[in-house]
A and B are shown apart, each in its own frame.
Chain A
Amino acid sequence: MNGITGHSLFRRLEHAAALLLALLWMAPLLYAVWAAIHPPEYAIHFDLLAPISLENFQVAWSRAPFARYFLNTFILVTTILAAQFVLCTLAAYAFARFEFPGSGIAFALVLLQLMIMPEVLIVENYKTMSQLGLVDTISGIGLPYMASAFGIFLLRQTFKTVPKDLEDAARLEGCGPLQVLWKVYVPLARPTYVAYGLVSISYHWNNFLWPLVITNSVTTRPLTVGLAIFGAPESGVDWSIISAATLLAVAPLLVAFLLFQRQFVQSFMRAGIK
């Protein structure tokens, strides 16, 4: 019996430690919320009776074109996702079901992008974009990411698990390759699309380096780049307002995450174990 009480005491300590670490992990976000909803003089000292106000959000919103940044990020993320779905589906189908000559080498060349991400090639890709006249455009930000090795790989794995009989049945009914893809493979791969979509959206909502390099005006800058300019020490904006702006920028993704937490975690898991 002694062993069991000692055991459960240890368990309780463990639970306490887990909870403490969780709170520590949340602390930066909680602090940002504190600073954002209180007047600036409370940003550096904590008083439970401090008055709550949303003025910081109004000030942040009016000092930088955040509405435009939101629109840019939204267009960017949806364009990339739509293009990725189309391009990766087609390529994954080719790798999963068509054994054409050179497919092995082609697949290895595709996987190369898992190592050499577009972030690493900013110097050359900037040159290419200026030759194409796409510097400072939203397509310029998105293009290097549209053919995603990760997406192709993930969908190929999923398509391979689809029973061949289903394809044969569809073919007997007179479906061409694209119809088979659309009617058999795509519906069966829905969970993979959701998983990949969530990973892609969070990646591109948060992406910074390449958008920073390739944009230079308000009409193209995504939120991350806008926020970096807004929060620069030279801008002389105080903490409360930066916190408010930071929360504004992360709000849509954060709210989506808190609402669909289970799906997010499972999507990242699904994407990770393939």
Chain B
Amino acid sequence: MSSVPKISQRYVVGWLLLMPAAVLLAMFTHYPAVATLAESFFSSGSAIRPSEFVGLDNYRLMLDDEVFWKVLRNNAWFAVGTIPVSIGLAILMAVWVNSRMPLQGFVRMCYFTPTVLPMIAVANIWLFFYTPEIGLIDQISGALGFGSHNWLGDPDTVLGCIIVLAIWKEAGFFMIFYLAALQAMSPELEEAAQLEGASRWYFFRRVTFPLLMPTTLFVLINAVINSFKLVDQLFILTKGGPDNASSLLLYYIYEVAFSFLDQSYASTLTVVLLAILAVIAICQFVFLDKRIHYQ
């Protein structure tokens, strides 16, 4: 038996093994991504008017669409408001849970619980917190002598409310990655630092934090992706309102496609979202150690 047919046989087996997954991925990831781009150059068809090629008309429409710019701005603020705080809290939680302390298991469980709960379910609970007058936040602020406030009805505070919920939901999830990194760290480092008389804060700043950098980059990428993906809470809390003050890009895409039934414009907006994700992917490729993916 020569080795040549054996090698080509392995080629065939390799492709056959991959085939089922490849077909589904092509159908529901690659084809729709390309089709979205193509669709964005056509008008929405209807029963009387078939869709036709309109070139960049949808994009011109988009640049003139104030709501588009608003949701993009909201999304940027949502990311800026959510990511640093949730990452900071995640590091704090991980350092705490990783050190010897009473009720360690209980504390870890509390931090992690929001991660396993559906966003839809927790949004129901938070909706009650934010309700004016009878809601928990207004009751507390009332008891302290402050007036009541329509947190979700005020364009100035609604995005903040969404951000607080997202931080609560995500910090415990990010904590897990830091916890894994901290546990992989050599305990000798800390012992050596203690012998040298270094304070814990100094040790954290000069040793722990730099060593956590790869984890931080990884978490950062995930956090940015999540800030464009996480819109479930809007369905319960605000429906994007008031006056789109809390709407995010993916939620707007959903509205345009399935409430206003404008598929072409929804595709055009999706192209923007895909472009943003592509930029994130490139950043990941450039900044993150390639090892993580290609080893």
B139 at the interface (CB under 8 A from A): yes
Residue of A nearest to B249 (CB): A120
From B24, B111, B121, B177, contact of A246 by CB (8 A): B121
Segment touching A, from B76-84, B126-134, B153-161, B202-210: B126-134
A19 at the interface (CB under 8 A from B): yes
Given the complex of chains A and B, what is the CA–CA distance between A239 and B129 in angstroms? 11
Contacts of A144 in B (CB 8 A): 24, 28-29
Among B24, B27, B105, B173, the most chain A Cβ lie within 10 Å of the Cβ of B24
Residue of A nearest to B24 (CB): A147
B15 at the interface (CB under 8 A from A): yes
Given the complex of chains A and B, what is the CA–CA distance between A264 and B179 in angstroms? 14
Contacts of B33 in A (CB 8 A): 116, 121, 124
From B21, B27, B124, B270, contact of A90 by CB (8 A): B21
User: Do B232 and A208 have beta carbons less than 8 Å apart?
Assistant: yes
User: Do A273 and B180 have beta carbons less than 8 Å apart?
Assistant: yes
Given the complex of chains A and B, what is the CA–CA distance between A249 and B266 in angstroms? 32
Residues of A whose CB lies within 8 Å of any CB of B are 14-15, 18-19, 21-23, 25-26, 28-29, 31-32, 35, 44, 86-88, 90-91, 93-95, 98-101, 103, 106, 109-113, 115-128, 143-144, 146-147, 149, 152-153, 157, 177, 202, 205-206, 208-209, 212-213, 223-224, 227-228, 231, 239, 242-243, 246, 249-250, 253-254, 257-258, 261, 264-265, 268-269, 272-273
Chain A interface SS verdict (over half): helix
Q: How many A-B residue pairs have CB under 8 A?
A: 252
Interface string of B112-126 (1 = CB under 8 A from A): 111111111110111
From B31, B92, B263, contact of A128 by CB (8 A): B31
Contacts of B253 in A (CB 8 A): 122-123
Expressed in whole angstroms, the minimum distance between the Cβ of A157 and any Cβ of chain B is: 8
User: Do A91 and B120 have beta carbons less than 8 Å apart?
Assistant: no
User: Do B108 and A265 have beta carbons less than 8 Å apart?
Assistant: yes
Given the complex of chains A and B, what is the CA–CA distance between A100 and B11 in angstroms? 5
B interface residues, how many (CB within 8 angstroms): 92
Contacts of A28 in B (CB 8 A): 114, 122, 125-126, 129, 168
Residues of B whose CB lies within 8 Å of any CB of A are 10-15, 17-18, 20-25, 27-33, 35-36, 39, 89, 92-93, 96-97, 101-103, 105-122, 124-129, 134, 136, 139, 168, 172-173, 176-177, 179-181, 184, 225, 228-229, 231-232, 235-236, 250, 253-254, 257-258, 263, 266-267, 270, 273-274, 277-278, 280-281, 293, 295
Among A120, A121, A122, A127, the most chain B Cβ lie within 10 Å of the Cβ of A120
Chain B interface SS verdict (over half): helix
Given the complex of chains A and B, what is the CA–CA distance between A174 and B97 in angstroms? 50
User: Do A228 and B267 have beta carbons less than 8 Å apart?
Assistant: no
Contacts of B180 in A (CB 8 A): 269, 272-273
User: Do A22 and B107 have beta carbons less than 8 Å apart?
Assistant: yes
Given the complex of chains A and B, what is the CA–CA distance between A178 and B10 in angstroms? 12
Residue of A nearest to B293 (CB): A111
User: Do A272 and B30 have beta carbons less than 8 Å apart?
Assistant: no
Given the complex of chains A and B, what is the CA–CA distance between A272 and B122 in angstroms? 24
Contacts of B35 in A (CB 8 A): 124, 127
Given the complex of chains A and B, what is the CA–CA distance between A99 and B168 in angstroms? 44
From B25, B235, B273, contact of A120 by CB (8 A): B273
